Each structure stands twice: as C-alpha cells, then as structure tokens.
Amino acid sequence: MPEFAYENISPGLQHPVLDSQRIFRAVLLTMSRPGTVTVLGNWPAPPSPLKPAAASVCLALADLDTPLWLESTIHSDIQTYLRFHCGCPLTQKQEDASFAVVMDGNDLPDLKKFEAGTEEYPDRSATVIIQVRELNVGRGVTLTGPGIKDSTKLTVDGLDSGFWHEFKKNSERFPLGYDVILASDTEIASLPRTVRVEV
Amino acid sequence: MIAQENAAPVSTAATGEEYNFAYLDEQTKRMVRRAVLKAVAIPGYQVPFAGREMPMPYGWGTGGIQLSASILGPDDVFKVIDQGADDTTNAVSIRKFFERVADVETTERTSEATVIQTRHRIPEEPLTEEQIMVYQVPIPEPLRWMEARETETRKMHALEEYGVMHVKLYEDIARHGRIATNYMYPVMVNGRYVMSPSPIPKFDNPKLDRSPALHLLGAGREKRIYAVPPYTDVKSLDFEDHPFEVETWDECCGLCGSETSYLDEVILDDAGGRMFVCSDTDYCSRRRESGHLGPMAAREDLDELKGDRPAQEGGHNG
C-alpha cells in the first residue's frame, strides 16, 4: 500500500459522527430559512482553494451514492481530499452530479446544465455549492418564498452578478430546479429553488 | 471517513451500547439527510428514501424515528407525543429509545423541546422558530384512496391533476351534507402540491399554515419523506359554499376548563358517565398548574387522568 499518499491528505472532520450531525443541522437551518447565514465551527483543513465551509458540507453529505462535480482544472489535491474523505465519485459532467463545488463565485459554470430533476421526481436534482467571499444579511438582494417570514435581504460578495438572473430562471421552473448553498470561508447561506429573487 | 467512522462518540460508548450514535449508521443518516434537504426545497413533495428496518414494527413510527435519528444531536431536547399524550406506550418507548441510543435530553414540556416527534397531534402551545416537528406518517399519499397505482399518483402530482381530490370531498357533501373527512384532511402546500398532513385531526390543519416551525414528515413502510418549511402557505382544500371548518365542542375540558383545545371523550362508567379532556396532556397540566380548573378537576377518582399516578413500581400507562 502506498503509505506516502495518505500522509499527504489533510485531515477531515475531527468527530465525523457528531460533526456531520451539526453541519447537517446548519445546512437544514439555512435551507428551511433561506437568507439565514450560519457559521460552521470546528474546521476541517481542506487544500486551497477549497474552503472549510464548503468542505464541511461535502464531508457531511456526500458519499459513494453522490457523484460530485468539480471544474476540470481543479488541483488534484482537492480531488484526492474529497475522494478519500467522502468516498464519492468525482465527475466532470455537470448533468451527472448530485453535488457540485464551484470554487469561485466569480467564475461560474453554465448553471443550467446541472440536473433539475424530472416532473415526476423533482428531488433527483443537483445541490450546487458556490464559494463566495462574504455573506451579509440586511442589505442587497430581496428574497421571498417558503421559509421566509415576509422578506429578507442578502448581500453576497464575490458572486458573478449574472447569478441572480440565472437563479430567477431556475426558480421559475419549480418544482424542477437545482438548489444552491453559498459558502464563504466559514459561513453558509442556502437558496432552495423555492426562493424568489428581486434584484 | 473510512477509518474515523469506527470511533464511536463518547456519549454512546459510555452507556455501554454497541450502536452508532442515534442507532442508524452514518451512510443511512446521510441518505436520510439528503432526502430531508430535497423535501424542504420542494414543499409538500414526497421524496422516496431507502427506509431501513428499525427495531420496532411498521406502524409504530419507523418513519418518524428514522427522521429523528438523522436530525437529533447532543444539544437537542426531545419530546414525543402519541395522541396529545407524553405518557402512552408508543411515546414512552420512542423517548426511551433515543435516551438510550442518542443520550439526548427529553422533556414533556412543549416549550422546552427543540425536536418534537408526534403521531396524531400538533401541540396546542404555539410552536417557535427554534422547533422541528417530526411526524410519523402511515400513508403519505393523499391520492391513494382514489388511485391505487403509485405510477399514476406520481403522474397526477407531476401534472398537478388534483380534480379527483375535490371529487372525494364533494362526495362527502353529497352523502353527508358536509365534508366528513376529519383527519388526514388534504392540504395544498405552497400552492403546488396536495399533501396528506398525516393523521392529525383537521383541528390542527390551521396550525401548519405559515407555522414558524419546520415540519418534517416520514413514512417508514411507504419510504417517503416530505416537509413543510416555516412560513409556508398550507391551505386545507374546500369549496366556496362549503368552506373548511374545524371541530368544535359544546363542553370545555373537565380538568382545566379550556374551551379552545382539542378534546378527547372519556367514558367514566357504564352508566353513561363521560367527560371531555384536553388531548394535549402537557397543555392541560400546565393550565391546571397556573390555576385554571375545569368542572371535574376536584374529583379524586380522576387522578389517573390528571397524571397524578401512584408512586409504586409497575404503574400503568394511562
């Protein structure tokens, strides 16, 4: 067994069982209350440019049943890291992905190509994790929809301005659509397909 | 994770159990968790999941238990009710199960709980944003009584073809002069999916509408998970000339005097004696603690109903 290969992989979650539960609850909180920004604690230390928040979500939710999409140009350290800790197959075909990690919100792939489910099985759709610089509640884009009491505002720094237009089209085809998790270094906010965006 | 997953968390190891935290293995939990997230993203839509065998029979809440096992953590406070009561066999068993396998704190107080697993009721006390309701659902498909084939009902949901549901309610009116469906009363969620709210009485349907809490529903035998996110429109189906109505009672609760809660009828003897009491035991005892007394509160022969159980071992389950 090539021992050296394992030594070079940075550590994953410290307590996989309890950390996964805590991360899942944070994702559930943001998914059921879109626009809420939550801190994830107790970091894994993924290889750059993968950040702790996005890495946590992958470590908690991805496994051998969920092909994960990464840009083809991504450093092999990250591929090894995710393959080793999650055991998930990696894919470069967007339509095959259950999860996707976009390393830089300013450099988006064609989001339309991610699986949006079918009329009979809209749940068979992708969850796209997009890394951004900063998330702030209270200013910016107005969000309404299930999970939001009246309306809420979210500012996302480091996200291509075309994203909101693209996401609007995504929510118009409800119940089809992909769901988005925005991740800064240490925080996440989620945009399920039900969210209606006013730019 | 391969190597690390074998390390059982301290809390479970300390109880001497050989189970993973919260009973289910990690891969199962991840699968359930992914289904929960998709259910939240598509309110009212039933997400299929690979339901596992649980150490109790179908019908005892295996769907709800798998949901609870996947969401509960060491910081949660867990409450279980069966019909509104905390002290019935099913509720006690499930509470003890999670005390043992997840080392979770439990309570009978609605306001103290962060996760409430339920079978037939939504507590009378208003829920908060910090709470998650978990429902044990026997038959998740509201269209199943009209259409037995899953392939067809799935198509009906896809096409938003819900005419048959209104026909059923109309047949009620034609036969009984009113909508005679009293529980599992169908609702429209977020203006898109018709959903069965599990066997809660229609009395509880309005509590789902724009509720601040997250509601997760799990059917173990049918292997479906669905959800109502907070602040989501949940409308009970009805007709303009036969609007949706909830049950009312002429009596008040015999113990706490409440005129607004859901009441159960209790037969007291075989000479026609009967009384009505709150189905939500926590709500009823809280009201009595704060001084509200109903017309029958002073009767000593009703101690059992009041929860003043005898102290000796081997007591009954009410």
Best-predicted range by mean pLDDT among A123-132, B180-189, B286-295? A123-132
Strand A68-69 versus strand A99-102 pairing type: parallel
Position A8 scores a pLDDT of: 81
Position B298 scores a pLDDT of: 85
Hey, of B10, B19, B25, B34, which one would you mutate to test binding to chain A, going by the most A CBs within 10 A of its CB? B34
Chain A residue nearest residue B210, CA to CA: A149
The answer on pLDDT for B64 being more than 70 is: yes
Please indicate whether, in this complex, the C-beta atoms of B229 and A146 are within 8 angstroms of each other. Answer: yes
Q: How far apart are CA B198 and CA B63, in angstroms?
A: 12
* Percent of residues, chain B, with pLDDT higher than 90: 80
Q: Judge whether A170 is closer than 8 Å to chain B, CB to CB.
A: no
In the residue annotation, B253 being an active-site residue is answered as yes
Chain B residue nearest residue A147, CA to CA: B230
Which of B55, B136, B137, B131 has the alpha carbon at shortest distance from B97? B55
Q: Nearest Cβ partner of B9 from A15, A87, A147? A: A15
Residues of A in contact with B27 (CB under 8 A): 63-64
- B 255-314 near A (Cβ less than 8 A): none
Position B8 scores a pLDDT of: 45
For the four alpha carbons of B54, B58, B59 and B62, in that order, the dihedral sign comes to positive
Structure tokens at B21: 């935290």
- Distance (Å) from the alpha carbon of B13 to chain A's nearest alpha carbon: 13
**Helix, coil or strand: residue A144:** strand
Position B56 scores a pLDDT of: 87
Please indicate whether, in this complex, the C-beta atoms of B73 and A33 are within 8 angstroms of each other. Answer: no
A57-A61-A62 Cα angle (round to 5): 105
Position B11 scores a pLDDT of: 47
In the residue annotation, B64 being an active-site residue is answered as no
Q: How far apart are CA A170 and CA A178, in angstroms?
A: 7
Structure tokens at B3: 């190597």
Domain boundaries, chain A: 13-198
- B 209-248 near A (Cβ less than 8 A): 212, 214, 227, 229-233
Distance of CA A25 to the CA centre of its chain: 15
Return phi, psi of residue A101, to 5°.
-120, 120
Return phi, psi of residue B157, to 5°.
-65, -40
Query: Across residues B44-64, what is the average pLDDT?
Result: 94
Please indicate whether, in this complex, the C-beta atoms of A87 and B2 are within 8 angstroms of each other. Answer: yes
List all residues 6 or more positions away from B164 whose beta carbon is below 8 Å from its beta carbon.
B143, B146, B147, B156
CB atoms within 10 A of CB B179: 22
Q: Judge whether B3 is closer than 8 Å to chain A, CB to CB.
A: no
pTM exceeds 0.95 for this model: no
Confidence of residue B309 (pLDDT cuts 50, 70, 90): low
In the residue annotation, B284 being an active-site residue is answered as yes
In the residue annotation, B252 being an active-site residue is answered as no
Query: Across residues B271-280, what is the average pLDDT?
Result: 93
Strand B274-278 versus strand B263-267 pairing type: antiparallel
Query: Across residues B253-263, what is the average pLDDT?
Result: 95
In the chain, the amino acid numbered B50 is A
Position A170 scores a pLDDT of: 97
**Helix, coil or strand: residue A96:** helix
pLDDT tens-digit map of A131-146? 999 999 988 999 999 9
Residues of chain A with pLDDT under 50: 1-2
CB crowding B61-81: b at 16 or more within 10 Å, else e: bbbbbbbbbbbbbbebbbbbb
Residues of A in contact with B26 (CB under 8 A): 16-17, 20
Mean pLDDT lowest among B30-39, B90-99, B304-313: B304-313
Query: Across residues B161-174, what is the average pLDDT?
Result: 94
The answer on pLDDT for B39 being more than 90 is: yes
Pick the CATH number of A13-198 from 3.40.50.11310, 3.40.50.300, 3.30.390.50, 2.40.50.100: 3.40.50.11310
Which of A125, A43, A34, A48 has the alpha carbon at shortest distance from A81? A48
Q: Judge whether A122 is closer than 8 Å to chain B, CB to CB.
A: yes
Confidence of residue B17 (pLDDT cuts 50, 70, 90): low
Chain B residue nearest residue A127, CA to CA: B38
Taking chain B, what is the end-to-end CA distance rounded to the nearest angstrom?
46
- ipTM, two decimals, is 0.96
In this structure, are residues A182 and A140 in contact, taking their beta carbons and an 8 Å threshold?
A: no
Q: How far is CA B22 from CA A112, B28, B71, B97, B105, in A?
A: 38, 11, 9, 9, 13
In the residue annotation, B256 being an active-site residue is answered as yes
Query: Across residues B219-241, what is the average pLDDT?
Result: 97
Hey, of A32, A65, A151, A178, which one would you mutate to test binding to chain B, going by the most B CBs within 10 A of its CB? A32
In this structure, are residues A83 and A91 in contact, taking their beta carbons and an 8 Å threshold?
A: no
